[in-house]
Amino acid sequence: MTQPIHTKAKVDQNGTFAIVRLEGDITSASRDAVLGSYERLPPQIARVALDFSKVPYLNSSGIALVIQLVMEAQKTERRVAVFGLTPHFQKVFTMVGLTKYTSVHQDEAGAKAQLGV
């Protein structure tokens, strides 16, 4: 059995926009990387893109973290876009209903365009 790849998050922000760049497997152990990086964003950030291009694995607990993040964004009226998901995880996001609350894009340019950046 292969060991999970520890999740890392790097935040790039510019004005009222931020990109949370996730790297590694996203599981229940990824709470600080996923939710923590989001919760630490300054209040002036109104638009957030989540970069999954370096995420090879996302289990049901990891998807629950993403759902929690998106629901929190809804409460604070932050707009969220997602990019870099594999085709499989694009389907999963659609199946669990995440696409009702966030837009899914192939690349960073598409996410930025959707968010008006």
Tell me if 7 sits within 8 A of 30, measured CB to CB: yes
**pLDDT for the residue numbered 32:** 93
Domain spans of the chain?
Answer: 8-104
Q: Using one digit for the tens of pLDDT, what is the confidence trace for 43-55?
A: 999 999 999 999 9
pLDDT on residue 6 = 84
DSSP string over 16-32: TEEEEEEES-BSGGGHI
| Average pLDDT score over residue span 44-73 | 96
Tens digits of residue pLDDT in 11-50: 999 999 999 999 999 999 999 999 999 999 999 999 999 9
Tell me the CATH number for domain 8-104: 3.30.750.24
**4 pLDDT band (50/70/90 cuts)?**
low
| pLDDT tens, position by position, 98-113 | 999 999 999 999 999 9
Spatial distance between the Cα atoms of 87 and 7, rounded to a whole number of angstroms: 20
